[in-house]
Each structure stands twice: as structure tokens, then as C-alpha cells.
């Protein structure tokens, strides 16, 4: 099962660059030191319109998602509080796209309703 652990950081004033650098460093370290059979990727994103808002995402491939996240994710969330406000959440992938269709839930690309 694929699931995503997201750690969002809204950095305090003046800490945006330091936050970004730390998150990029952490993503690289995590990617290099975590079992690739379990961790698909570790990425960092910045918000399009909110300066200093970043997300570290850990893409997991395990049998069961961890409801509260991994020990790694929880530890990161705690330690990143020095940069500002932190939100840690877990998301389960519920569909896969292929061509013009979204599989698993019967939603066609470009529509907003379910097929019966």
C-alpha cells in the first residue's frame, strides 16, 4: 500500500531560508539512509503563494500505513518546531491514474462525479 507522510512547516519570520535548507538536507539524508523497498521518495515543496511555507513528504510503500505516522516522521515534526508552526499528517493513496481514467474509484479524468 502506498501512503504519504506530510510534515508542513510554516516558518517564523526570518527563518524561511534556514527552514528550506534544513528540509532539503533532511530529505536527502532520509532518502539515502532509508530502505528503498519501504520509502519510495522524500521530497520538499514550497507553497506557491505563502512565503516560508514548506512541506516535507515521505512516500511509503508498506503493507499498512501508520495512523499517527512513523517514528521518523514524528521525530522530524518535533524537531522542526524550532523553525515555526508544524503540522504532521498521514495520507493514503486511494487511486492510480492511467491514460484518461482514474482507477479504483471509477472517476473519469476531467469529471467530478463517480461512474455507476
Q: Is the pLDDT of residue 36 over 80?
A: yes
DSSP state of 64: S
Q: State residue 108's pLDDT score.
A: 40
Got the DSSP string for 29-64? HHHHHS-TTTEEEEEEEE-SSSTTEEEEEEEEE-SS
Residue 93 binned pLDDT confidence (cut-offs 50, 70, 90): confident
Q: State residue 95's pLDDT score.
A: 74
Instruction: Give the start-to-end residue ranges of the domains of the chain.
Output: 2-108
Residues with Cβ within 8 Å of 55's Cβ and at least 6 positions away in sequence, in order, are 6, 7, 8, 9, 44, 45, 46, 47
Are 106 and 97 a contacting pair, CB within 8 Å?
A: no
Task: Give the dihedral sign, CA 82/42/35/3.
Answer: positive
Q: State residue 114's pLDDT score.
A: 39
Q: Rounded to whole angstroms, how far apart are CA atoms 6 and 56?
A: 6
Q: What is the mean pLDDT of residues 57-82?
A: 94
Residue 111 binned pLDDT confidence (cut-offs 50, 70, 90): very low
Q: State residue 9's pLDDT score.
A: 98
Written out in words, the top-level CATH class of the domain with range 2-108 is: alpha beta
pLDDT digits (tens, 9 = 90+) for 14-32: 999 999 999 999 999 999 9
Amino acid at each position: 500500500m502506498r501512503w504519504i507522510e506530510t510534515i508542513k512547516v510554516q516558518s517564523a519570520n526570518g527563518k524561511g531560508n534556514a527552514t528550506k535548507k534544513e528540509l532539503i538536507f533532511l530529505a536527502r539524508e532520509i532518502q539515502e539512509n532509508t530502505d528503498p523497498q519501504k520509502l519510495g521518495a522524500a521530497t520538499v515543496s514550497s507553497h506557491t503563494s505563502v512565503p516560508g511555507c514548506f512541506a516535507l513528504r515521505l512516500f511509503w510503500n508498506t503493507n499498512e500505513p501508520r495512523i499517527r505516522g512513523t517514528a521518523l516522521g514524528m521525530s522530524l515534526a518535533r524537531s522542526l518546531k524550532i523553525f515555526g508552526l508544524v503540522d504532521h499528517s498521514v495520507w493514503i493513496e486511494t487511486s492510480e491514474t492511467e491514460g484518461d481514467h482514474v482507477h479504483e474509484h471509477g472517476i473519469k479524468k476531467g469529471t467530478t462525479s463517480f461512474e455507476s
